[in-house]
Amino acid sequence: MIRLLLPLLLVCAFPLHAAEPLPVDELYRHLCAQCHHPERLGGMGPALLPENLERLSKKSAAEVITKGRIATQMPGFEEKLTPEEIQSLVNFVYTPLPASPSWDEATIRESRIIHHGNDTLPSKPVHESDIMNLFMVVELGDHHVTVLDGDRLEPIHRFPSRYALHGGIKYSPDGRFAYMASRDGWVSRFDLFSLQMTAEIRVGVNTRNVAVSGDGRFVMAANTLPRNLVILDATDLSLVKVIPVVDGKGGTSRPSAVYAAPPRHSFIVAMKDLPEVWEIPYSDKARPIYTATVHDFQPSSGEALPVAKGPFPVRRILLDANLDDFLFDQEYHHLIGASRNGPSGQVVNLNVGRKIAEIDIAGMPHLASGIIWPYKETQVMATPNLKEGEVTVVDLKTWKTIQRIPTLGPGFFMRSHENSPYAWVDVFSGPNKDAVHVIDKQSLEIVKTVRPAPGKTSAHVEFTKDGRYALLSIWEMEGALVVYDAKTLEEVKRIPMKKPSGKYNVSNKINRSAGTSH
Ligand code: DHE
């Protein structure tokens, strides 16, 4: 109780508009440090560092300090602070720390919270819903997650999440447990049988995303602060290993993201600041794949280094360029990546450990959102573009760009399903942010553009398990999920939500549907 009341007690104890303006670090120490940590590394409240606040404008930060944040312990300070003091606090929290903060193994271990031990969990679901057709929907507006039944298209549960979840929610291979990461380093494990959080751990100060191994034994988190990879035991989130991201020559890097590559029995990590891709096997079954004979590569300057020894050995694949964004072909033989500002994309054959082709996808493709489908005699990959109004379609046999589909503006997310003839892509920014295009996967043409809430951002589609319905977010505080019949493209219903962002269907995720993110 005291913990919950603390922010209010601190505000009450602070004098109304002090006669002498206090220096900003004093203001911070009196009003913020208790919840946000004396070094701004986060505590009950989120970390207040530029890296963690990237998604919050300074104007919105000033509003939060002034009015508080609904449904959290953050009080408003408008009666205590002048607008100038509020602005000085905003500037303070957007100033980088003089030295990179440390978040060592002991700190990680100490942060772990067991909410419900595995021995207390039920052996059957406490609800009637089909686990395989559940969605977890992230509601960024008030930092909650809704569990939605994809058959009845109704929410069955809603719970508070850590501040600012980012990246897809990942599931254990049987679909029972969900793993989610917040931008400020919390990894949480949620049980879809009992609908409760089982464990949480803070793995770093700023985290990019998490991946779950194909055998369900490990979770890997990619951290940008500190720059490392953290391996957790998936059953209780206990710490297994920390791997610093270093190149042996004094270079370090932020990981772009980590993904599991289940057919390879490994995790794959690309780097933002080093021209390298790392493959980290989580099982002894992984090794033979590296030596498989592959005939489709040409020599490049890249060179695969020998696999290091020890648990979770790191195999470093050297490239010509850093990769900000990437995805895999369905077999996980190839990684398709690009630098956000690079002139083209590159294809890395993971078996031989080399770049084998360049592809013409200039203009900031958002490859993490790329999807794949069969097309004529081949397979194609299609990606939205963060800078240009274009969906780029690439043949996965020849690595040639076969179509550029003009859209009404830059797009963020793209989705389809094996049972749907259509791919959906949003127009995330610009004057047409309310538009979502529906593309025919064979003619490669836009066949319909929906605008479910004129003037409001509409983005991120995901399908039900059978591909019958497509669920789309109205990305607004008083937003909604809009459910479309995926065949007729007509609206079926709306479910009110607080700024819903990503939604993740258990079956599509664990079966690695070619139409969704993995
Ligand atoms: Fe994301 C996924 C990177 C900004 C919402 N985003 C991802 C992934 C990466 C990534 C690498 C895949 C990780 C995974 O799913 O495990 N995102 C980046 C960026 O580099 C970028 C442009 C800048 C940044 O600040 O990190 C960025 N992302 C955003 C946003 O501004 C969005 C719209 C709102 C937010 O939450 O911050 C946003 N990103 C998302 C969502 C996913 C995501 C909803 C999961 C998509 C999915 O369907 O899997």
502 lines ligand 1 (CB under 6 A): yes
Res. 304: pLDDT tops 60: no
Tokens of 120: 């207390």
- Residue 106: alpha-carbon gap to chain centroid: 26
- Coil vs helix vs strand at 448: strand
Residue with structure tokens 């409760």?
196
**Tens-place pLDDT, residues 406-442:** 999 999 999 999 999 999 999 998 999 999 999 999 9
Average pLDDT, integer, range 123-143: 96
Residue 263 DSSP symbol: G
Residue 345 or 10, more confident: 345
Ranked by mean pLDDT, the top range of 186-190, 293-297, 337-341 is 186-190
Strands of the sheet containing 491-497, edge to edge, are 458-463, 469-474, 479-485, 491-497
Lowest mean pLDDT among 58-62, 107-111, 247-251, 373-377: 247-251
Residue 305 has pLDDT above 70, yes or no: no
User: Measuring from atom 39 of ligand 1, which residue has the nearest CA?
Assistant: 167
Q: Tell whether ligand 1 has an atom less than 6 A from the beta carbon of residue 517.
A: yes
Please tell me the predicted confidence (pLDDT) of residue 311: 81
CA atoms within 13 A on the CB side of 174: 9
Mean pLDDT across 275-280: 94
pLDDT in tens, 459-485: 999 999 999 999 999 999 999 999 999
CA distance 353 to 276: 10
Q: What is the pLDDT of residue 302?
A: 45
- Residue 23 Cα to ligand 1 midpoint, Å, equals 36
Rounded distance from Cα 244 to ligand 1 centre (Å): 23
- The rounded Å distance from CA 167 to ligand 1 centre is 5
pLDDT reading at 300 higher than 50: no
Ligand 1 atom closest to Cα of residue 462: 48
**Cβ neighbours of residue 99 closer than 8 Å, sequence gap 6 or more:** none
Which of 166, 258, 369 has the most ligand 1 atoms within 8 A of CB, as the residue to mutate? 166
Atom of ligand 1 nearest to the CA of 460: 48
For atom 13 of ligand 1, the residue with the nearest CA is 167
d(CA 475, CA 264): 36
CA 107 to chain centre: 24
Q: What is the DSSP string of 63-125?
A: HHHHH--TTSS----TTTS-HHHHHHHHHHHTSPPSSPPP--HHHHHHH-EESS-GGGS-SS-
Domain 8-93, CATH among 1.10.1060.10, 1.10.760.10, 3.50.50.60, 1.10.600.10: 1.10.760.10
Between 270 and 340, whose confidence is greater?
270
Q: Is 54's C-beta closer than 6 angstroms to any atom of ligand 1?
A: yes
Whether residue 368 has its Cβ less than 6 Å from ligand 1: yes
| Token duo for residue 276 | 């390298």
Long-range contacts of 117-126 (CB under 8 A, 24+ apart): 117/198, 117/236, 118/198, 118/235, 118/236, 121/191, 121/193, 121/194, 121/198, 122/193, 122/194, 123/193, 124/193, 125/192, 125/193, 125/194, 126/193, 126/194, 126/195
Q: Is the CB of 272 under 6 A from ligand 1?
A: no
Average the pLDDT over each of 59-68, 121-130, 337-346, 377-386 and give the range with the smallest value. Answer: 337-346
Taking the centre of ligand 1 as the mean of its atom positions, its distance from the CA of residue 255, in whole angstroms, is 14
Distance between Cα 434 and ligand 1 center (Å): 19
Segment 451-459 shows an average pLDDT of: 97
140 alpha carbon to ligand 1 midpoint, in Å? 12
Cβ of 168 closer than 6 Å to ligand 1, yes or no, is yes
**Residue 459 CA: which ligand 1 atom is closest?**
33
Ligand 1 closest atom vs CA 166: 36
**d(CA 368, ligand 1 centre) in Å:** 8
Place of tokens 């020894």: 309
User: For 144-173, what is the mean pLDDT?
Assistant: 96
Residue 284 CB-density burial (10 A; 0-12 exposed, 13-18 middle, 19+ buried): exposed
Tell me which residue has its CA closest to atom 31 in ligand 1.
Answer: 55
Q: What is the largest CA-CA distance in the chain?
A: 77
166 touches ligand 1 (CB under 6 Å): yes
Domain boundaries, the chain: 8-93
The CA 18 to ligand 1 mean position distance, Å, reads 42
The answer, yes or no, to whether any atom of ligand 1 lies below 6 A from the CB of 370, is no
CA–centroid distance, 221 to ligand 1, in Å, is 15
Question: pLDDT tens digits for 160-178?
Answer: 999 889 999 999 999 999 9
Cβ-in-10-Å burial (0-12, 13-18, 19+) of 434 comes to buried
Atom of ligand 1 nearest to the CA of 165: 36
d(CA 330, CA 515) in angstroms, rounded, equals: 10
Q: For residue 294, name the pLDDT band (cuts at 50, 70, 90).
A: very low
Instruction: Report which ligand 1 atom has the smallest distance to the Cα of 168.
Output: 15
Residue type, 213: S
User: How many Å lie between the centroid of ligand 1 and the Cα of residue 4?
Assistant: 31
pLDDT at position 308: 53
Amino acid in position 127: H
- In the reported structure, the alpha carbon of residue 211 is separated from the centroid of ligand 1 by a whole-number distance in angstroms of 14
Q: Is 206 in the pocket of ligand 1 (CB under 6 A)?
A: no
Shortest CA distance to 272 belongs to which of 320, 229, 324, 314?
324
pLDDT on residue 501: 96
Residue 181 to residue 237: CA distance in whole angstroms: 12
Residue with the larger pLDDT of the pair 118 and 74: 118
The per-residue pLDDT for range 34-61, each reduced to its tens digit, is: 888 888 988 767 889 987 787 789 999 9
Give the integer Cα–Cα distance in Å for 22 and 37.
19
Query: What global pTM score does this model have?
Result: 0.88
State mean pLDDT over 336-360: 90
C-alpha of residue 200 to centroid of ligand 1, in Å: 21
Mean pLDDT for 356-361 is 93
